[in-house]
Amino acid sequence: MDEEDATSCRARASWAPPAAGAAVVIVGAGPSGLAAAACLASRGVPATVLEMSDSLVSTWRHRTYDRLTLHLPKRFCQLPLLPFPDAYPAYPSKDQFVAYLEAYAAAAGVAPRFGARVEDAAFDAAAGAWALRLAGGETLLARWLVVATGENAVPRVPAAFDGDGRRLFGGRIMHTCEYKSGEEFAGRKVLVVGCGNSGMEVSLDLCRHGAAPSLVVRNTVHVLPREMLGVSTFGLAMGLLKLLPVQAVDWLLVAAARVALGDTAKLGLRRPKTGPIELKNLTGRTPVLDVVGAVKEVTPRGVRFADGKEEQFDAIILATGYTSSVPSWLKDGGDVFTADGMPKTPFPNGWRGKNGLYTVGFSQRGLLGTSSDALNVARDIHCQWKDMNTVASKPTASSSSTTLLQNSCSCSASNGNNLTVV
Ligand SMILES: Cc1cc2nc3c(=O)[nH]c(=O)nc-3n(C[C@H](O)[C@H](O)[C@H](O)COP(=O)(O)OP(=O)(O)OC[C@H]3O[C@@H](n4cnc5c(N)ncnc54)[C@H](O)[C@@H]3O)c2cc1C
């Protein structure tokens, strides 16, 4: 941004209240929606947050297992403007994370509207705004629409475990989003399908509760210890990436993991040729693990594997990940989202689309990605919002409140004040 733009933006620091219809609507009150709302609030831009469930952070509250802690150290998971409390451990529990987000929303004055499920959103060119239809039939108009419904919206259920397979199996089939604890599986044989972080953690939890889990591993997989020599592996990798190319960092990580864990291939966990960080950048999968599943079909008493062998199980837990729900409700988002509801443009540039459409939390970079998106989105909307309200307040303004402004404003205001917990 050149100095002239900055000065002109700063000179317009006092603006009129938003014109009717010039509203920001954020869909989703998880970490991404809250971060976007807080960053906007810190710049004085009001936003309406629509949340289909009955509470903040419902994914963490209702669709995670009891033993869940943050997978990454807290300094990589805090949202803009408010750090985690010092008293929190390096890897906060899910209850601590939820409490942090409650405090975050309160400090930013964000009060979502609960029970507001957006069923359909399309750009209304005549109105110059996004028309959102809620369950129940109510329609809202939004000049700016921020999609924050999450990468983990819809549990992914492989075809073999759905429909006929589910009906055939005599035991219980559940997705990890329904799993709470291994207590109910004590003494049972359980098949865990998928060995991402959730699959590994659920298997550990089952072991601790006296169940006998088997973890299906079809593909190659990177297993790294959470910490190396007392330092978080993720933090170490982030630090090294500032000094070395990604391939060199990957080589060091894999070498150190081999010293710490031995040769995981001996346990059937072969490593991919591509290193853990490069793989994450290419595929979005976490550097820790890969998602796999080599089951051919479900049988009445267990499963048959790809090699034809059948084995009995009392229950099957699907740690097979999630998909985005965006394609089911957002129309006219094709410039930003793929048919699968994920950004077309890789991180860090996938947060902005046409006609005032934005995304937060789809970067496959966890909460670090959420923070980056939220700051970018708030800065961009704030810039237009100021322009719009300045124009609307001028008697001779030729633009009406529904005139679209270009999304190319390069104005960069400050990131706003830090929040304090109220
Ligand atoms: C088990 C697990 C552990 C994770 N651990 C970490 C970690 O340690 N560190 C890290 O950085 N990341 C982690 N992640 C990844 C990611 O940070 C979290 O999934 C995080 O919750 C994403 O936040 P979000 O707001 O984008 O999505 P969500 O938390 O899923 O929130 C989306 C919200 O949108 C609402 N919604 C959806 N559709 C609609 C609609 N149509 N209308 C209205 N509301 C709607 C939902 O009810 C939900 O409340 C983890 C993910 C999982 C699943």
Quick one: which atom of ligand 1 is closest to the CA of 368? 11
Question: Which domains are assigned to the chain?
Answer: 3-153+324-408 (3.50.50.60), 157-321 (3.50.50.60)
Q: How far apart are CA 47 and CA 26, in angstroms?
A: 7
Whether the per-residue pLDDT at 358 is higher than 50: the answer is: yes
Q: Which of 26, 34, 49, 51 to probe ligand 1 with, by most ligand atoms within 8 A of CB?
A: 51
Secondary structure, 3-state, 113-158: EECCCEEEEEEECCCCEEEEEECCCCEEEECEEEECCCCCCEECCC
Above 90 in pLDDT, residue 50? Answer: yes
Phi, psi of 111 (to 5 degrees): -125, 90
DSSP letter string over 379-416? HHHHHHHHHHHHHHHSTT----TTPPPPTT--------
Identify the sign of the CA torsion 100, 83, 66, 117: positive
> Probe ligand 1: pick from 65, 367, 372, max atoms within 8 Å of CB?
367
Q: Which long-range contacts (CB under 8 A, 24 or more apart) does 331-334 make?
A: 331/120, 331/121, 331/122, 331/123, 332/122, 332/123, 332/357, 333/147, 333/357
The Å distance, Cα 29 to ligand 1 centre, comes to 9
pLDDT band at residue 419 under the 50/70/90 scheme: low
Instruction: Give me the pLDDT at residue 164, please.
Output: 86
How much is the pLDDT for 241? 87
150 Cα–ligand 1 center, Å: 5
Nearest CA to ligand 1 atom 23: 31
| Minimal-distance CA residue to ligand 1 atom 13 | 366
Q: Which residues line ligand 1 (CB under 6 A)?
A: 27-33, 50-53, 58-60, 64, 68, 70-72, 77, 117-118, 148-150, 152-153, 198, 325, 329, 361, 366-367, 370
> Per mean pLDDT, which range of 15-24, 244-253, 397-406 is the poorest?
397-406
